[in-house]
Every structure is written in C-alpha cells, then in structure tokens.
Chains A and B, each alone.
Chain A
Amino acid sequence: MAYEMNFAPVLARTPELINGTIDTVILSSQSIGIGLTIGLAAALLRVDGPKWGAVASATYVEAFRNTPLLVQLFLLFFGLPYMGIRLTANEAAIFAISLNLGAYSAEIFRAGLLAIPKTQVEAGLALGLSRLQVMRYVVIIPALRIIYPSLTGQLTLTLLGTSIASAISATELTLAGAKIESQTFRSLETFLVLAAIYITMTFAFRLLYWLIGLWLFRRRIPKTGTAAATLTLPREVKS
C-alpha cells in the first residue's frame, strides 16, 4: 500500500499549533524559572546548610532523579487530591516539571559551588576586591561559566520533557497535536510537523542560551574600589 503524504489538513490547523507552541514556551519558561530557584536553594542547603538540611536536600534530589517525570506528574495530579490538595492540570505540570528540573539543577549547581576553591576567594579579597565583587567576579560568574554547558543541556531536556505533560492534558504543543491527529487521522503528518516545531524551538532556545552566555561571560572590569584603580591604570597611562 502506497501512502500519500498530505499535510494540508494539518497545516489548516496552524492557529492551534501556534497556540500550542506558545503554551509550551510559557510552560517551559515558568518551570525553568521555578526549577532553577529550587535547584539553587537545594544546592546551597546541601553545601552550606546544617546537617539535616543536607540530608533533606540529598533525599529530594535522589527521589526525583530516580523516578520518571511521568510518574511524578501522575502522583502530583492524581495523588495529591488524596491529601486534600487539588491542582489543575497546568499547575500540576508546572509543579512536577519544576521539581524535576530542581533536582537535576541542584546537582549541577553543587558541582559549580564546589569548583571554586576557598583560596580564590581569599586571593580576591587580598587584591582589594570588596565582598560583593568577590562574590560576583570570583565565585558566581566563574562557577556559572564552568557549569553553563551542562545547565543549558538540562534546560533543553526540560523543554522537551514538557511534551509529557500532555498525558495529564496540560495545555501545550503535544496535546494540541494529539487533538489534531485524532480529528484529521493524519498521524504521520501531524507528528512530523510537531517534531519540526520542537526541533526549531530547541535550536531557538539553544541560540538564546548561547547569546546569554556571550553577555554573561564577556570580559568585565570592576568599576569601583582599589581593584578598579589598579586594573584601569594601564589604560590611563596609555591614553
């Protein structure tokens, strides 16, 4: 049986596909924002916190890294009402994806925090940088630079993972696609179009991360304090 591809019925639903794409971008952005905050907090608790904090953080990280996102979604969406907490599908999706990303990013942030030796901080202070400058130029930016590739890789996986939220009928691209598929019966075409949209979205996000990286890791020169005076001196001499 020869099969003739016909994209027309799928492309006729372009507005729905666009809405789905926007919903996926929103869901991803919200989850990334919340997830990274959770991850940073969990990493700080693990590295600098009290003993119970470190244990709690490690338990959270291992529990979420060793179970599937789909099961986490089901547990939060179907299971939480049992405990009296009722979430809409979209809330449960944001909640589950954020917690999932939080667990993965906590490990990445922890690696970054451990990558900066104490002596670097002492050296920074000895050079006359203020505490804030040391935090910014010696700890945060260099640490971020080390973990940046794995962090953005994880964010890409989070973007792709949002498709699983369609299983609890959270509004996003895969759900929009599934609806079109069931109404047009053009399965192959629908999912090929979805794949193309996801691939475009992934590359767009990667471009964005690359640009943010360029801005974040540009050469910086402190503008105030003793260090600034020392660092800007050669320039003044030249001019």
Chain B
Amino acid sequence: MIQSFGWQSVQFLFHGLVWTVGLSLCTFVGGGIFGLVFAVSRALGPKWLRTLVAAYIQLVQATPLLIVVFLAYYGLSFLGFYFPPLAAAAISLTIYATAFLADIWRGCIEAIPRTQWEAADALALGRVQRLRYVILPQAFQIALGPTVGFMVQIVKNTSVTALIGFVELTRAGQLLNNMTFQPFHVFLTVAAMYFVVCYPLSWWSEKLKERKHAGTAH
C-alpha cells in the first residue's frame, strides 16, 4: 500500500523515536554500571585485572559497533541462546558503551592528583572511604562533560541496530520509506528527530566542559 508522507508518518516515526530513547537509556544504565566497575578496576585494581580490562577496552574500541551487533544477534544464537533483536541490541550496545565509558572515567580518576589520595590517607580514611568521599566526587565533576558528550554517541549509535531489524527510529524510517517512496522527506524528518534529541545534550556537554576550564584557570 502506498501512502503519502503526512502527519500519520510523523506519528509512526515518533514511535520509533521512543524506542531509540528507551534503548539509549538502557545502554547508558548498563554501560554506566559496568563502565564504572571497569574504570575503577582499570585505574586501581591489581595488575592482572588492569591488563585484562585494558585488553577488553582496546579490543572493543578497535571493532566496529556493527560487527559487535552482528556477533550478538547472529553469532550467539548458534551457541544455543536466541536473542530477540531488542536483547541483542541492548547487549551489544552495552558492551560497546562499557568500553568507552570505562576509558573516559579511568582518565578522570587518574586525573585526580596523588596529593588528594595522600591527604585522604592522612585523614585516616579507609581505602573505600577515600574512593567514596574524596576521589570519585572530584572525578565525577571532571567526567560530567565528556560523559554527556558520549551520551550523544550512544543515541546516534542505536541507529546501527536498525540493521538487525530492531524497529527504532532509523528502522522506522526505512519501513516508512518502503511505504511512501519519499526517502528525502522521511530521512530528513528522521535526521531532524535525532537532532532534537542530540543537540541539547551536545550543547550541555560543551557548557559543562567550558565551566570546567573556567574553574581550573588560576
């Protein structure tokens, strides 16, 4: 059935957008939890753990996200697990986000000067207390800008899951294009919807980075 691009189409795309945002949030929560564990292990763990986490980060960062998505969707089903597109999408995006967030946050933890550790030590704080009350709050301040910046990448990269048939915004656009044959209207609207979600995040991230620089200058 051929229909023409109109209000109904925009509503259809909007449903896709809801899934895009949902998947982005899942990815951010999953990637955030594992990313924090990995970042702390990478920065402060024993040597073997650091090496292991560093290897994970290097390998994931050197593999295209699309291949990770394909591995989770096509690959793992052969091992006897079947993942529906939503699960495969969430798992692969979490693997990807974990590697990048762990790397960003490791840098932020390592950016806290040694003297802060020593000062906390001198105040007789335990190992966990030092991390909880002195190091992580300061690292958090540095990390906020880049983390929000990475959220933009997560939202944009959920589009890759369209290629395993998960119906988020981009896939909705493809489906709509097959119904309307008006690719220019459809994909321009899709792009505009991504922009509406991503631009405020980018703007906020820039503001946070500026404030950080303003704070550190003298």
Q: How far is the CA of A181 from the CA of B163 in the complex (A)?
A: 15
If over half of B's interface residues share one DSSP class (helix, strand or loop), that class is named, otherwise mixed; here it is: helix
Give B65-83 interface residues, CB cut-off 8 Å to A: 65-68, 70-71, 74-80
A88 partner residues in chain B, CB cutoff 8 A: none
The answer to whether A75 touches B191 (Cβ under 8 A) is: yes
A13 vs chain B, min Cβ distance (A): 16
Among listed B25-33, B56-64, B114-122, interface-contacting one: B56-64
The answer to whether B156 touches A69 (Cβ under 8 A) is: yes
A196 nearest CB neighbor, chain B only: B63
B186 vs chain A, min Cβ distance (A): 8
Q: Known: A71-B191, A74-B183. Is A198-B62 also a contact (CB below 8 A)?
A: yes
Decide yes or no whether A222 CB sits under 8 A from chain B: no
The answer to whether A75 touches B184 (Cβ under 8 A) is: yes
B183 partner residues in chain A, CB cutoff 8 A: 74-75, 78-79, 81-82
The answer to whether B62 touches A199 (Cβ under 8 A) is: yes
The answer to whether A70 touches B162 (Cβ under 8 A) is: yes
A188 partner residues in chain B, CB cutoff 8 A: 71, 74-76, 78-79
Q: How far is the CA of A28 from the CA of B67 in the complex (A)?
A: 17
A166 nearest CB neighbor, chain B only: B66
Question: On chain A, which size bracket covers the interface?
Answer: 35 or more
Q: Known: A65-B202, A78-B177. Is A71-B66 also a contact (CB below 8 A)?
A: no
B182 partner residues in chain A, CB cutoff 8 A: 82
B185 vs chain A, min Cβ distance (A): 8
B62 partner residues in chain A, CB cutoff 8 A: 156, 160, 198-199, 202-203
B62 nearest CB neighbor, chain A only: A202
The answer to whether B170 touches A195 (Cβ under 8 A) is: no
Decide yes or no whether B138 CB sits under 8 A from chain A: no
Size of B's binding interface in residues, CB under 8 A:
41
Q: Choose from A71, A72, A82, A163 the contact partner of B67 (Cβ within 8 Å).
A: A163
Decide yes or no whether A12 CB sits under 8 A from chain B: no
The answer to whether B71 touches A71 (Cβ under 8 A) is: no
Decide yes or no whether B140 CB sits under 8 A from chain A: no
Q: How far is the CA of A1 from the CA of B61 in the complex (A)?
A: 31
Contact with A along B78-99 (1 / 0, CB 8 A): 1110000000000000000000
Q: How far is the CA of A68 from the CA of B63 in the complex (A)?
A: 18
A160 partner residues in chain B, CB cutoff 8 A: 62-65
Q: Choose from A3, A71, A83 the contact partner of B78 (Cβ within 8 Å).
A: A3
Q: How far is the CA of A62 from the CA of B199 in the complex (A)?
A: 8
The answer to whether B75 touches A3 (Cβ under 8 A) is: no
Contact with B along A179-216 (1 / 0, CB 8 A): 00100000110011011001100110000000000000
A-B contact pairs, 5 of them (CB 8 A): A66-B202, A67-B194, A69-B156, A164-B66, A198-B63
Q: Which residues of A contact B (CB under 8 A)?
A: 1-3, 62-63, 65-72, 74-75, 78-83, 156, 160-164, 166-167, 174, 181, 187-188, 191-192, 194-195, 198-199, 202-203
